[in-house]
Amino acid sequence: MNRETNTVELKAPEQPSSKLHLPTLLKSDYETDTEVSYTVVADEGQTSFREGPLTETYGYNGSYLGPVLQVRRGQQVHINLQNKLEEETTFHWHGLKIPSDVDGGPHHAIEAEGSAEVDFTVDQEAATLWFHSHAHQKSAEQVYNGLSGLIFVEDEHSDSLDLPKEYGVNDFPLILQERFFDEDNQFNYDTVYNFDGTTGDTPLVNGTIRPYIEVGQEWVRLRVVNGSNARNYQLRLSDESFFYQIATDGGFLETPVERKEFLLSPGERAEIVVDMSKYKVGEEVSLVDISTTEILALQITGDKSGSLKPLPEKLNDLPPVEADSLPDRQIEMSGMGHMVTLNGRKFDLERIDFTVEQDKKEVWDIAVPNTSMMMGDMPHPFHVHGVQFRILSRNGSPPEAYESGWKDTILVPPGEAIKIEIEFSQPGIFMMHCHILEHEDNGMMGQILVE
Ligand code: C2O
Ligand code: CU
Ligand code: CU
């Protein structure tokens, strides 16, 4: 698929490798079987990414990025939000099926030094989700500076699956990003800003440059999140081994899908499991971007005797998709630079773009017109708030097994016709937008009223 948004090549950083930073599992303020409460604080900080001066950054409960919020299906979640920044921000829960008044979109600004509380019930299956700033016309800069974190949803079904789940041992989240560092080690967003998505030349995983992890000779699960403002990552193992994809954005696939490489556009997630038992202790294999830039080194250190257990054959029961007998709606993302639009219009906080019925399936045709180079054709990752959808077809063909699960973000290449089946279970006003965050800030976004 098309990767032409990535104008800046990644380069392998010239510095020694360091152990991958593991986001902390956020300690709850209180927790029972049915309830959990967290405090999430957005603040400024200084982060040591590499030798030399510290970098001025933003973070949640820390100087850069954020912790993992663990929630369970059925649980009532209470989150105390604090904004210690000198500007307004929002806390958006990307992928959670929750009512729009707690979704943290651009309507929910919390002023500098302000705070707010949100309450919702988790009503969806186990998945790796994330959260980030969605401040009006400031999302791209605030996310670039560090405002993103993770949400792990677990449920009885995921408890019962025999998959790697020892955090930091055989289960690792990987937030992929890249940044430019200036001579003083600063991000300096204004100077590297790009209308079509600010990128960088230095890959970071969880904020670590040249990261490695130590693993045993066992299945290792990687929960990969594309947390970049604009870059598409196309990932494979350095020795071109196969691995299995087990989950998409919103939950497990039906069965593990054997893959050799996978593409993630901004906002998308994929979980993969890698068989490390075929390597010897002392060996190393890397996850690389297709440009062969190393993203993460896996060093085999622990000896695990005995043979590897097979993966579960069945991971999930996905409801069948209904195909074509449903109301149809067209969504078109077009333009580049300042000229980006969604269905021919720029975002307006005061305008509802269309209304859909709650608990009613619809088919959406999503497209990026193939016009001329003058108009600018580029792939756009399309994301919808408050919902998980399914892909019905790409150019008339059913989706590949690896994208037949729950999705909330999908890369739409120019000229390709994509149909999705979508059903909102929550009422309110939800955003749909390009997840190239600069496009979103520049107006490639619309609002859906669900009632
Ligand atoms: Cu990941 Cu509107 O967001
Ligand atoms: Cu979102
Ligand atoms: Cu876009």
Please give the distance, rounded to the nearest whole angstrom, from the Cα atom of residue 435 to the centre of ligand 2: 9
Residue 13: C-alpha distances to residues 10, 179, 254 (Å): 9, 11, 38
Residues 125, 215: one domain? no
Q: Hey, what amino acid is at 353? A: D
Bridge partners, residue 355, by sequence:
449
Structural domain contains residue 56: yes
Q: Where among 131, 159, 187 does a domain terminate?
A: 159
407 Cβ closer than 6 Å to some ligand 1 atom: no
CATH number of 376's domain = 2.60.40.420
Q: Are residues 219 and 109 in the same domain?
A: no
Residue with the bigger pLDDT between 2 and 117: it is 117
pLDDT tens by residue, 398-428 = 999 999 999 999 999 999 989 999 999 999 9
Mean pLDDT of the chain: 94
Cα gap 80→437, rounded to integer Å: 25
Q: Indicate if 62 and 89 belong to the same structural domain.
A: yes
C-alpha to C-alpha distances, 328 to 159, 264, 341, 421, nearest whole angstrom: 38, 27, 20, 10
Q: Residue 318 falls within a domain, yes or no? A: no
What's the gap between Cα 19 and its chain centre? 22
Report, as an integer, the average pLDDT of 111-140. Answer: 98
Residue nearest to atom 1 of ligand 1 (CA): 94
Query: Do 256 and 127 lie in a common domain?
Result: no
Which listed ligand is nearest to 132 at the C-alpha?
Answer: 1
Q: Which domain holds residue 38?
A: 18-159
Are residues 196 and 264 located together in one domain of the fold? yes
Asked if residue 288 is part of any domain, the answer here is yes
Per-residue tokens: 278 = 């075929």
Q: What is the pLDDT of residues 175-190, one digit of tens each?
A: 999 999 999 999 999 9
Tell me, yes or no, whether 5 lies in a domain.
no
Look at residue 215 and tell me if it is in a domain: yes
CB proximity list for 102: less than 8 A, separation 6 or greater? 93, 108, 118, 119, 120
Neighbours of ion ligand 3 (CB under 5 A): 380, 434, 436, 439
Q: How confident is the model at residue 336 (pLDDT cuts 50, 70, 90)?
A: confident
Mean pLDDT score, 231-243? 97
Verify whether ligand 1 is closer than 6 Å to residue 92 (CB atom): yes
**Domain annotation covers residue 287:** yes
Q: pLDDT tens for residues 143-178?
A: 999 999 999 999 999 999 999 999 999 999 999 999
| pTM exceeding the 0.90 threshold for the entire prediction | yes
Pair (353, 281) in one structural domain: no
Q: Which residues of 289-325 are buried (b: 16+ CB within 10 A; e: fewer)?
A: beeebbbbbbbbeeeeeeeeeebeeebbeeeebeeee
Question: Interface pTM (ipTM) of the complex?
Answer: 0.99
Nearest atom within ligand 1 for CA of residue 409? 1
| Cα 362 to ligand 2 centroid, rounded to whole Å | 19
Amino acid 306: pLDDT:
64
Cβ–ligand 1 contact at 231 (below 6 Å): no
Mark whether 198 and 233 lie in a shared domain.
yes
Domain boundary residue, one of 127, 159, 191: 159
State yes or no: pLDDT of 2 exceeds 80.
no
Report, as an integer, the average pLDDT of 201-224.
97
Can you tell me which residue has the tokens 């150019």?
Answer: 395
**For atom 3 of ligand 1, which residue has the closest CA?**
94
Q: Which of 159, 183, 203 delimits the end of a domain?
A: 159
Q: What is the pLDDT of residue 308?
A: 86
- Smallest-distance ligand from the CA of 225: 1
For residues 308 and 218, is the Cβ–Cβ distance under 8 A? yes
Asked if residue 269 has its Cβ within 6 Å of ligand 1, the reply is no
DSSP string, 325-369: SS-EEEEEEE--GGG-EETTB---TT---EEE-TT--EEEEEE--
Residues belonging to the chain: 451
Ligand 1 site, residue 379, Cβ cutoff 6 A: no
Select the more confidently predicted residue: 357 or 14. 357
- Report every protein residue that has its C-beta within 5 angstroms of ion ligand 2: 94, 385
The fraction of the chain above a pLDDT of 70, given in percent, is: 96
Tell how far the Cα of 143 is from the centroid of ligand 3, in angstroms: 16
Q: Are 318 and 411 in contact (CB under 8 A)?
A: no
Q: Quick one: 327 exposed, middle or buried, by C-beta within 10 A (0-12, 13-18, 19+)?
A: exposed
Q: Is residue 5 pLDDT above 70, yes or no?
A: no
Contact (CB, 8 A) for 219 and 250? no
Residues 6+ apart with CB under 8 A from 343: 330, 331, 332, 353, 446
Looking at residue 13, its pLDDT comes to 87
Shortest-distance ligand to the CA of residue 227: 1
pLDDT, position 325: 67
- How many domains would you assign to the chain? 3
Q: Are 270 and 340 in the same domain?
A: no
Q: Answer yes or no: is 442 within a domain.
A: yes
For ligand 1, whether the C-beta of 221 sits within 6 Å is no
Closest-CA residue to 215 (of 309, 272, 284) = 284
Q: Are residues 134 and 190 part of one domain?
A: no
Q: Are residues 65 and 134 in the same domain?
A: yes
Residue 114 pLDDT grade (very low, low, confident, very high; cuts 50, 70, 90): very high
Q: Cα of 389 to ligand 2 centre, how many Å?
A: 13
Within a domain: residue 319?
A: no
Q: Are 126 and 426 in contact (CB under 8 A)?
A: no
Residue 193 CB burial class (10 angstroms; 0-12, 13-18, ≥19): middle
- Please write the tens of the pLDDT for every residue from 23-82: 999 999 999 989 999 999 999 999 999 999 999 999 999 999 999 999 999 999 999 999
Which DSSP symbol is given to 306?
A: S
Using DSSP, state whether 433 is helix, strand or coil: strand
295 lies in the same domain as 177: yes
Pair (44, 177) in one structural domain:
no
CB atoms within 10 A of CB 415: 14
Q: 102 pLDDT exceeds 50?
A: yes
**Rounded Cα gap, residues 190 and 443, in angstroms:** 19
At 124, give phi and psi (nearest 5°). Answer: -165, 165
